[in-house]
Amino acid sequence: MKKLILTLLFLATITARADVTWLTDLDAAKAKGIKENKPVLVDFTGSDWCPPCIQLHKVVFESAEFAAVASKYVLVELDYPRKTPQAPELKAKNAELSKKFGISGFPTVLLIDAKSGEVFGKTVGFGGQNAKEYLEKLASFKNTPEGKTALEQEQKSTADRSAKSRVLGQKINDAIAAKDFKSAEVALDEIFADVTGPRKAVLPFNKARILIQIDPTAKEQALKYIDEALALTAGDETLAKPFKAFREKIVSGATAAPSSAPKGAAPKAAADTKKGA
């Protein structure tokens, strides 16, 4: 009986996922949204090259949780592949839409009022949330004047944080050039001041990475930072894996900074240290 129940649950999940349909034409989606009185959910994605896009689909859009609420929206996928062939007219139309909506990063997910075409919800990037958390964020966007005002304020706040991060990132780069770890550490602490949860582990990782870049002999302190980062990952092996790899490099004497920072870490020597899209 237990096996039968599990089998039925599995089949129900497969059926639910099969019912999720993504359109590729925004105009057709808006027409459908008007007819069915539904908002349009638009996913701007790079399906064959963008790791966060691929992860968003795997974790959220292919989940049973999303299948259970997908009927609330008319779904549109606007793809920007680099390897997969795409019809020239579709490629040109998607490029035009990207410009129209000011898409600056992938993935970007918009919630659009089908009648007015106005955006009332927007997320940029994918920070590794589970399906429930991501869907709660989508549900928090309201297609009301108050909701649109709240979105504008949120976007302004995000832009302000990005601008601040760029300034602090330049300070970090200057500190690295001057071999002034203390100044770099102060800037890093300010950038990550509002980060919570396992992603806070990126802060001590970056301290270790920058310290060893400034002073390759400071192995003992760098290892302490790495161990702090590992303790903060809360068992997230995806986040912990590059930390462990860098720790091994420090121990072995291969102290050059890693070629790429882990998910959520600061690229380009912390120039854009805090991400959101």
Residue 155 belongs to some domain of the structure = no
More confident site: 261 or 240? 240
Residue 193 belongs to some domain of the structure = yes
Q: Are residues 132 and 182 in the same domain?
A: no
More confident site: 254 or 120? 120
Please compute the mean of the pLDDT values over residues 9-34 and round it to a whole number: 73
Percentage of the chain lying above the pLDDT 70 cut: 85
Q: Are residues 129 and 179 in the same domain?
A: no
pLDDT in tens, 223-247: 999 999 999 988 888 788 889 999 9
Residue 105 belongs to some domain of the structure = yes
Given this model, what pLDDT does residue 255 score? Answer: 65
Report how many domains make up the chain. Answer: 2
Q: Are residues 194 and 120 in the same domain?
A: no
- Kind and range of the H or E run holding 119: strand 119-124
Q: Are residues 240 and 128 in the same domain?
A: no
In the β-sheet with 40-45, what is the strand arrangement from edge to edge? 22-23, 74-79, 40-45, 108-112, 119-124
DSSP structure class, residue 197: G
Q: Are residues 27 and 134 in the same domain?
A: yes
Q: Are residues 33 and 137 in the same domain?
A: yes
Q: Are residues 136 and 56 in the same domain?
A: yes
Classify 107 as helix, strand or coil.
coil
Q: Are residues 134 and 28 in the same domain?
A: yes
3-state helix/strand/coil string of 23-84? ECCHHHHHHHHHHHCCCEEEEEECCCCCHHHHHHHHHHHCCHHHHHHHHHCEEEEEECCCCC
CB within 8 Å of 232: residues ≥ 6 apart: 198, 200, 201, 204
Query: Residues 43, 61: contact at Cβ < 8 Å?
Result: yes
**Domain containing residue 108: CATH number:** 3.40.30.10
Q: What's the domain range around 232?
A: 171-270
Residue 72 belongs to some domain of the structure = yes
